[in-house]
Structure formats: C-alpha cells, structure tokens
Amino acid sequence: MDSEKENSASSEIGNVSDKVLSVFITELASDPEYAEVASRLNDVVFNDKISEKSLRTALFDEDE
Amino acid sequence: MIRIKQLVIHEFRGIRNLTFDMNGSNFAVCGPNGTGKSGIVDSIEFALTGNVSRLAGEGTGNLSVKDHGPHVDCKDPENASVSLTFEIVSSGKEATVHRTVKNIRKPTITPADEDVIATLTHIEAHPEFVLSRRELIKYVLSNPGDRSKEVQALLRLDKLESLRANFQKIANAERRGQKPLENHKKIAKEALLKALGIVQLIENEILQQVNIRRETFGLPKIEKLEANTSFKDGLATMGDAPAKSRIVKSQAQTDIKSLEEKLEELSAESFAAKHTSALQEISVLASDPLVDKAASHKQMLDVALTIFDDQQCPVCETEWEPEVFKEVVQSKLSRLETVKRQQEEMEKVASPVATIYETLNTHIATVEKYGPIFPKPIDVELLINYKNALGLASTKLRKLFPLSESQSTLEESFAPSEEVTALIKEIGTAIEELPEPSKQDAAREYLIVAQERMETYRSASIQLKACQSKVKVADKVQELYGQVMTAELENVYASVEKTFRNLYRIINADDESDFEAKLTPSMGRLGFDVDFYGRGYFPPGAFHSEGHQDSMGLCLYLALMQHLLSGNFTFAVLDDVLMSVDAGHRREVCTLLKQKFPDTQFMLTTHDDIWLRHMKTAGLIKRNGFVHFRTWSVDIGPTEWDDRDVWREIDGHLVKNNVRDAASLLRHYLEYLAKEICHRLRAQVVFRGDAQYTLGDLLPPGVKRLRDFLKDGIKSAESWGQNDKKELIGKLLQSLNDAAKTSEVEQWQINTAIHYNEWENLNKKDFEPVIEAFKELNRIFECETCEELLYVSPERGKKEAVRCGCGSINVNLIKKS
C-alpha cells in the first residue's frame, strides 16, 4: 500500500500535462490521415525533454 | 510528500547556529522585521532545492546563493550549510539532506536510497511549497498573462505551454517557407508559358504546341501529359544537324523582353510608393540604436533556448535548473514582444522591394549567359555586377538587421546605370542579329527549352506541394492541440475555481458566504474575476480590501496545490502571507488550515505576535511548535525567546525583578485571551460602540459562560446517567471556581485595587500570586492534550457541546428528553 502511494506521488508530476497529451494523441490518431503522425508524436511528447527538432521529425517524418 | 522533522542551520542567510525540532507538525516563526524569519524559509528552500528564490529571478540583479547565501562574516562556504531531516509520508522513512554553499549541487543525502533521492529530485524540480506574499500577489493582482505563467508553473503545465509554443513556431516557420516557394513556382510557370508560347497551362494546349514541333521530326505525338513526360523524347536519335547558333533566338528574344519589362517596374510609381514606405518606416526605427540591440538580444535568447542542454547556460556555463533557466529566458523574451511586432511590420514593407530585386536578379542571370556565346561575344561583366548588387540588396532587406544597413540599401538607387542599359540594348541587338533558325532548328530549340522549363516547373511544384503538406500537418496539429489543451485546462480550472470558492467562503463566512469566482483560461492568459457582494464580477483588486485579496491569494494557492497533489500535499511554507488579514479572519484561516488540510504540515512566518497567539489558541500549532525571534545582530544572528511561552516569559521578567514588564505582558496576554474565550464560548458581553473592551469587560463574562456551560453539562450527564462524566465535569467546575476566586477575576469591575493598572506598582512577592492565579485560570480554558482553547459547538444556533480540538474534552449540553 505504501509503495503504491509512493508511486502515485511520483506519477503526480505533470499529471495534468499527461492527461492533456493523452487526449490530444488519441484525438489526432482518430483521424486516419494523421494516425501515423500521432504515433510518431506519441513517442516524443511524453518525454521530459522535448526539442523543436524532435517535434519536426515526428510531425514530418524527417530524418534526424 | 514529506514532512520536516528537524532543521539545522549554520552560517547561512544571517543565521549563525540554530536548530529547530518541528517533528512533522505545524510550525510558526514569529518576530519583528529583520530578525531572521526569512532566513529560516531560505534555509528550508536551500536544503531541499539548492536554490533561494529571494536571490534569484527578476529584480535580484547580481545576487547569488554562492556569494550571498553564507553569513556575511562566514569566510568558508563549506561552513555555510543547512541540514534538514524529513519523513517521507507515504513510507514513513526518515532521511536527512545536508547541503553546503560550497557544493550546492552535491548535497549529502542519508540514506542515499533511491526513493529518498527520487523524492528530493521531485521537490527540487518543483519548489512551489513556499508561498511568499510576493508570490501570493502574483496570483491575485498580476495581469492575465503573468498570472497564467504563475499558475501554469504551479500546476506544472509549463511543458504543455512549451509544446504549444513549439507547435506554433513550427507551423509559422512552414507558413513562412511556403511564400518563396509559391513565388518560385509562379516564376517557373511564367517562364514555361513563354517557352511554350501559350497563355494558360492547359494539357491540350501544351501538347498541341509540343506535337506540332515533334511532327517536324516525324516523332510520335504525345497523347497524355504525365509526371515524367519528356517533350524531346526521341529527338536525340534523329541525327539531324545541330543548330548553327547555341542561342535559341526566339527564347532569347522573350528573355530580353522580360528583363526590360522588369526594369521598367523599377521606375513605376507603384514601386516608388512601396520603396518610399519601406524607407520611411525603417528609417524611423533605425534611428533608435536600442531596436537593433533588442533584435540581436532576441535572436540570442531564441538560440539560447534552442541549444540549452538543461544544465549550463550556453553563454557563461553557469549551472541552472532547467525550468528556472527557461523561465528567465522566456521572461526576457516576453519583454521583447514589442521588437517582435516591429520586426513583423518592417518585414511587411521591405518584402515587396526585396521581391522585385530578386526577380530582376533572376532575369539578368538568364540574359547574362548569352553574352559569351554570341557569334561575337559580348562582355557582360557590368551586368553581372549589377545583378550581384541587386542580390546583395535583397539579402540585406530580407535579413533586415542591422537596420542601418537596410536603411542605406533603401537609400541607394538600384535603377540600372546608363552603361548597364546600353549593355542590355547591345545584347538585344545581338539577339536580333542572330540568323533565323530553320524550321527544324526552331522546332528542336522549342522542344529543348520547353522541356528544361517544364522540369524546373515540375521541381518547383514538387517543392511547394511538400511544403503545403507540412503546413497542413503543422496547422492541424497546432489547432487540435490548442483545442484539447484549452478544453482540458478549462476542466482543471473549473475544479480549482470550485475549491477556491469554497475555501474562501470558509474564511469569510461572516460576510461573503455566497462568494463566487471565475477563472477564465484562454491562449496564454488566465482571467480571474471575483464576485463583489452580488454586484457582479470584477478583478480581485477592484473593490475587495487588501486583506480579502491576501486571503484570495492563499485560497487560490491552496486550491491549486490540492488539485495538483491531492493527498500528497503534505508540506507548505506560508511566508508572511496574511499580513493584511484582520484578527477575526485569521482565526478562520486557522480553522481552514486545520480542518481542510489536516495532513499538511504548514510552516508559517509572521511579524505579528497576536497572529502567533491565534495559531496557538486555535490549536493550529502546538505549545512548542514555534520560535519567536526578538532581535537580530550581525554577530549573533536572530535571538529567540528562550521560554517559547508567554507564562515563561512573564516568569522570566519576574526572576529579574522586572514587575513592570511582567505586568505589561500579562495584561496584553489576558486581553487577547479574554477576547478569544468570549469568541469561542459565545459569551455575552456588554456591547460597546467603540469596540474598546477592557479586560474587565471580557474576562468575567467568559468565566461566567464556561461556568454556566459546565453546570449545564452536569445536568445533561445526569439525564443520561453518565455519573463518571458528571464527576469529571464537576471537578472542572470546581477548578474553575477556585481559579476565579483566587484571581478575583469576577470582582474586577468593583475592586479597582486589583485592576491591572495597579499591577506594575506591586512588588515581586505580591505579584507572584496574581500570575499563578491567572496561569491556573488559563489552564482551565485549555485542553492539556491538544493545547487548544475550549469552544462551544456549533458556532451559531443551538449550543450542543463544549469541546477542544482533539475531543479529549467534550461536555454535552443536550439533556436526555
């Protein structure tokens, strides 16, 4: 029980952010035209460090 | 997440050596301004995060923890340290973090277990546990843009905002890149149309013209125009003699004509108007050297944000917390918003001029190539120089900064010199003198040039299409992200708004029990309006008093923290946040903190003794749950009240035979105590319009009230057959009667000899029994266990019981019916 509490405390960091991002990715993926973009963005936006470069790569499937 | 057990400060922020045992309970630090209260707050922040907000951020100039953290006389930063022992609430594990100014980023953590380090890392990244009055005002009175940043930082939404800014930046960049590509395609299309000799790019017309030429060579007709169709397909195998001239006369004629037309545009009125407008606008701003500097600054900050490695400043290599660094840079960038707008305006006026120079440059590049390949070559160096000058001018105008260069470019005339005009004319004449090609030569040249131009046009189309595709994706993502973020944040703010309203109503139940508030988020802004006695919604600073604004700030902070951390909101520092709240409402603040946040350890600082006593009598802090600084000196640091208790201090005065100070302190304390007793027991006091109640007005009714309640309690216990309870209440009543008799409190109004004004004239021996009598009286009104003053419940309406905070004392007033 204690460890569960501790986990929930750690995952509290940015929980609002994660919820917003989850909804955003789900809605983007629901449009077949943007499903692949959503999949690539999903691998990027939940990371702590997000750069413009990594977002461009995900959006346009550009080479790193 | 944590509660603080002990704090040990050594040579840090004006404090020489201090140890506080907080034991995970609420704790107060009281003292006049300049006695070291803030040093305690700074020490906690330093131990947990390595930072001191007061020494960082906006308006702190060249201050730093490294240089200004240690005590001014401390020469070795190794000696300036703070040790903080804390409990991780969820696991009960105790740990200590010891941090020195010498090794700010390398604290000693004991035990250095994974969960302990994770907890400290979490706190270090989000040091919102400290709420100072400065922060509080930001939530309430700042403009919507700044408030949004503060609240987003607190709710840890900075990542969402950063993502939004990045999506917007990418979409803007793609949109900007689309324009030159559209221009490129337009130029390529015009060139293709001229080469084909048609006016519209329609498949049938293209193929009709192309097939006429192909027929000359007996080549098969092209029936369909596809992406890889070549107009000259099969031409290489015909083995016809090559054209006599390497210049396609008809095409060269078109090219020289186009160049002449473009040159005419330079002298047209429409261009002159655009040119003048650009020159005027840029000249105005070029005269202000700060604009260039600000633009360079903005560019540097943009780059700094991009290349920041989350550790060191890319310029000076100072170590920064990532969020703090980004906040500082963003804050500076926001101050350069004006420059950004000015830059956009200047780009608008400079762009048409640059476009004409670029177009001319392209046309000259086409024509200059003919020079060396005429039967009698023509030296085109002058034309090349002119082309290069146009190219340089357009580059400067596109770059815009430094503005002085854009200005001088616009002041310069780029009309062709007489020599250049003569040279163009000479080229034109040479083209006209070229022999007319044979029918087959003309057809061959047509197909070759048309194919070249077609390929250029196809390439431009592909580039534009790729760009348009990116714009579509970027726009879609930006728009959807904005919609989702707004909708979700509206939900968050609706929840925070509800909690905030309820908390504020608790503090202000007396006059704002129907209080409402609205938090309205929009892109990058957070509106905050509050109801003013049903007269409508206004900004908090519009009509509400400063005290109300303070309590709004506190409630908003608590609502945000509760939303963010829920059950993990276990620790907060409230640094002098209620300085404008009156005594009555502070009492309600105590109730709020105790009842609504029972699992949160609050550390409160105040310069107000009365507020400290409120905290004690309301049971918010325990008897030993505070320190009281009286003075501060540079050699010693803060000087604490040794006794930590008013009775001990009174005794202390008496030991020194200082009856005058002991009497004064006793009088002030009893005045405060009497008010508290009357308030909490709902005692009936003779009303005074001037509210100048003396001790004699208040203490006797308070004593009488408790006596009456205890008598009622005995009757009630009898009715329920609770003999043991009856006996306990009886003892309490007897103690009260004894104490009242000894202190002669109820003879106050008729026996002026014992009035407190006489106390200071007593000698020590005579005054000692007075103190003991009131000490005993005070004890009866307090619970020994929770140290809270007794109160009657409920606060309004029919009285049901007399209780203390922990329930150890509970005198039922309702008799069995």
pLDDT at B244 over 70: no
**How many A-B residue pairs are in contact by the CB < 8 A criterion?**
92
Residue of B90, B166, B473 with shortest CB distance to A52: B166
Contact between B166 and A8 using a beta-carbon 8 Å cutoff: no
Using a CB–CB cutoff of 8 Å, tell me whether B163 touches chain A.
Answer: yes
Output the pLDDT for position B612. Answer: 85
The mean per-residue pLDDT over the stretch B446-455 comes to 90
Using a CB–CB cutoff of 8 Å, tell me whether A52 touches chain B.
Answer: yes
Output the pLDDT for position A8. Answer: 36
What does the alpha-carbon distance between residue B214 and residue B234 come to, in Å, rounded to a whole number?
A: 9
pLDDT at B563 over 50: yes
Residue of A6, A45, A55 with shortest CB distance to B170: A55
Which of B630, B645, B644, B635 lies closest to B34 in space, CA to CA? B630
pLDDT at B60 over 80: no
Q: Which residues of B241-260 are buried (b: 16+ CB within 10 A; e: fewer)?
A: eebebebbbbbbbbbbebbe
Contact between B470 and A59 using a beta-carbon 8 Å cutoff: yes
Which of B86, B102, B95 lies closest to B11 in space, CA to CA? B102
Output the pLDDT for position A29. Answer: 95
The mean per-residue pLDDT over the stretch B250-276 comes to 89
Contact between B310 and A17 using a beta-carbon 8 Å cutoff: no
pLDDT at B322 over 90: no
pLDDT at B490 over 50: yes
Instruction: Identify the closest residue of chain A to B490 by CA–CA distance.
Output: A20
pLDDT at B72 over 80: no
Q: Which of B116-125, B385-394, B395-404, B644-653 has the highest mean pLDDT?
A: B385-394
According to DSSP, the residues that pair with B2 across neighbouring strands are: B88
Output the pLDDT for position B362. Answer: 87
User: Closest Cα of chain A to B127: distance in Å?
Assistant: 12
The mean per-residue pLDDT over the stretch B518-543 comes to 82
Q: How many CB atoms lie within 10 A of CB A4?
A: 9
Output the pLDDT for position A2. Answer: 37
Using a CB–CB cutoff of 8 Å, tell me whether B160 touches chain A.
Answer: yes
pLDDT at B159 over 50: yes
Check residues B633 and B799 and name the one with the higher pLDDT.
B799
Kindly report, residue by residue over B364-404, the tens digit of the pLDDT.
998 998 999 998 999 999 999 999 999 999 989 888 888 88
Using a CB–CB cutoff of 8 Å, tell me whether B485 touches chain A.
Answer: yes
Sequence-distant (6+) residues with CB within 8 A of B509 are: B588
Contact between A59 and B163 using a beta-carbon 8 Å cutoff: no
pLDDT at B148 over 80: no
The mean per-residue pLDDT over the stretch B221-239 comes to 83
In the structure, what pLDDT confidence band is assigned to residue B755 with cuts at 50, 70 and 90? low
In the structure, what pLDDT confidence band is assigned to residue B523 with cuts at 50, 70 and 90? low
What does the alpha-carbon distance between residue B659 and residue B661 come to, in Å, rounded to a whole number?
A: 6
Check residues B155 and B275 and name the one with the higher pLDDT.
B275
CB interface of B with A, residues 625-654, below 8 Å:
none
Residue of A12, A23, A34 with shortest CB distance to B484: A23
Output the pLDDT for position B751. Answer: 47
With a pLDDT cut of 70, the percent of chain A lying above it is 72
In the structure, what pLDDT confidence band is assigned to residue B344 with cuts at 50, 70 and 90? confident
pLDDT at B746 over 50: yes
The mean per-residue pLDDT over the stretch B316-332 comes to 74
Coil, strand or helix: which one is B589? helix
The token pair at B434 is 């070229």
According to DSSP, the residues that pair with B628 across neighbouring strands are: B30
Phi, psi of B26 (to 5 degrees): -60, 150
B126 vs A contacts (CB less than 8 Å): 13
Q: Which domains does chain B carry?
A: 1-127+570-643 (3.40.50.300), 649-812 (no CATH)
When the pLDDT of each residue in chain A is averaged and rounded to a whole number, the result is 77
Check residues B321 and B192 and name the one with the higher pLDDT.
B192
Instruction: Identify the closest residue of chain A to B169 by CA–CA distance.
Output: A52
The mean per-residue pLDDT over the stretch B73-81 comes to 78
A14 vs B contacts (CB less than 8 Å): 156, 159
B560 vs A contacts (CB less than 8 Å): none
Output the pLDDT for position B635. Answer: 65
Contact between A52 and B481 using a beta-carbon 8 Å cutoff: no
Output the pLDDT for position B639. Answer: 62
User: Closest Cα of chain A to B354: distance in Å?
Assistant: 29
Output the pLDDT for position B636. Answer: 67
Instruction: Identify the closest residue of chain A to B493 by CA–CA distance.
Output: A16
Using a CB–CB cutoff of 8 Å, tell me whether B494 touches chain A.
Answer: no
Q: Which residue has the tokens 């200590």?
A: B96
Give the ipTM. 0.85
Measured at the alpha carbon of residue B281, what is the angle toward residues B279 and B287, in degrees to the nearest 5? 90
Tally: H helices and E strands in chain B? 26, 17
Contact between A50 and B122 using a beta-carbon 8 Å cutoff: no
The mean per-residue pLDDT over the stretch B312-318 comes to 75
Using a CB–CB cutoff of 8 Å, tell me whether B166 touches chain A.
Answer: yes
A17 vs B contacts (CB less than 8 Å): 156-157, 159-160
In a mutagenesis test of the B interface, which of A16, A52, A55 is the best target, namely the one with the most B β-carbons within 10 Å? A16
A34 vs B contacts (CB less than 8 Å): 473, 476-477
Using a CB–CB cutoff of 8 Å, tell me whether B481 touches chain A.
Answer: yes
User: Closest Cα of chain A to B465: distance in Å?
Assistant: 13
Using a CB–CB cutoff of 8 Å, tell me whether B155 touches chain A.
Answer: yes
In the structure, what pLDDT confidence band is assigned to residue B630 with cuts at 50, 70 and 90? low
DSSP class of residue B374? S
Check residues B721 and B631 and name the one with the higher pLDDT.
B721
Residue of A9, A34, A48 with shortest CB distance to B568: A9
Angle, helix B418-433 to helix B249-266, in steps of 10 degrees: 160
Contact between A56 and B170 using a beta-carbon 8 Å cutoff: yes
Strand order in the sheet with B130-132: B130-132, B571-575, B601-606, B27-30, B626-633, B637-640
pLDDT at B529 over 70: yes
What does the alpha-carbon distance between residue A46 and residue B175 come to, in Å, rounded to a whole number?
A: 26
**How many Cα atoms occupy the beta-carbon half-sphere of B274 within 13 Å?**
17
DSSP string over B13-40 = TTEEEEEEE-TTS-EEEE-STTSSHHHH
Kindly report, residue by residue over B291-313, the tens digit of the pLDDT.
777 777 777 887 777 777 767 77
**How many Cα atoms occupy the beta-carbon half-sphere of B330 within 13 Å?**
17
Output the pLDDT for position B728. Answer: 93
Output the pLDDT for position B752. Answer: 44
Contact between B156 and A16 using a beta-carbon 8 Å cutoff: yes
Dihedral (C-alpha) B777, B779, B780, B785: value to the nearest 10 degrees?
A: 180
Q: Which of B77-81, B280-284, B808-812 has the highest mean pLDDT?
A: B808-812
When the pLDDT of each residue in chain B is averaged and rounded to a whole number, the result is 85
Kindly report, residue by residue over A16-43, the tens digit of the pLDDT.
788 889 999 999 999 999 999 999 999 9
Residue of B169, B488, B568 with shortest CB distance to A52: B169
Check residues B178 and B328 and name the one with the higher pLDDT.
B178
CB interface of A with B, residues 15-44, below 8 Å:
15-17, 19-21, 23-24, 27-28, 31, 34, 37, 41
The token pair at A5 is 């509490």
What does the alpha-carbon distance between residue B602 and residue B598 come to, in Å, rounded to a whole number?
A: 10
The token pair at B740 is 């009242």
What does the alpha-carbon distance between residue B222 and residue B231 come to, in Å, rounded to a whole number?
A: 8
Using a CB–CB cutoff of 8 Å, tell me whether A9 touches chain B.
Answer: yes
In the structure, what pLDDT confidence band is assigned to residue B766 with cuts at 50, 70 and 90? confident
In a mutagenesis test of the A interface, which of B117, B161, B163, B302 is the best target, namely the one with the most A β-carbons within 10 Å? B163
Using a CB–CB cutoff of 8 Å, tell me whether B306 touches chain A.
Answer: yes
Dihedral (C-alpha) B243, B244, B248, B252: value to the nearest 10 degrees?
A: 180
The token pair at B784 is 């020994």
With a pLDDT cut of 70, the percent of chain B lying above it is 92
User: Closest Cα of chain A to B611: distance in Å?
Assistant: 33
Check residues B287 and B594 and name the one with the higher pLDDT.
B594
Contact between A51 and B90 using a beta-carbon 8 Å cutoff: no
Measured at the alpha carbon of residue B599, what is the angle toward residues B594 and B603, in degrees to the nearest 5? 70
Output the pLDDT for position A10. Answer: 37
Asked if residue B357 lies in contact with residue B414, where contact means CB atoms within 8 angstroms, the answer is yes
Sequence-distant (6+) residues with CB within 8 A of B602 are: B26, B27, B571, B572, B573, B574, B593, B620
Residue of A3, A13, A60 with shortest CB distance to B473: A60
Contact between A16 and B484 using a beta-carbon 8 Å cutoff: no
Q: Which of B262-276, B515-529, B615-629 has the highest mean pLDDT?
A: B262-276
pLDDT at B44 over 70: yes
What does the alpha-carbon distance between residue A11 and residue B122 come to, in Å, rounded to a whole number?
A: 10
pLDDT at B613 over 90: no
DSSP string over B445-514 = HHHHHHHHHHHHHHHHHHHHHHHHHHHHHHHHHHHHHHHHHHHHHHHHHHHHHHHHHHHHHHHTTTT-TT
B89-93, B370-374, B689-693 — which is least confidently predicted? B689-693
Output the pLDDT for position B196. Answer: 92
Phi, psi of B606 (to 5 degrees): -155, 155
Burial class (CB in 10 A: 0-12, 13-18, 19+), B162: middle
The token pair at B286 is 């070029």
User: Closest Cα of chain A to B243: distance in Å?
Assistant: 45
In the structure, what pLDDT confidence band is assigned to residue B750 with cuts at 50, 70 and 90? very low
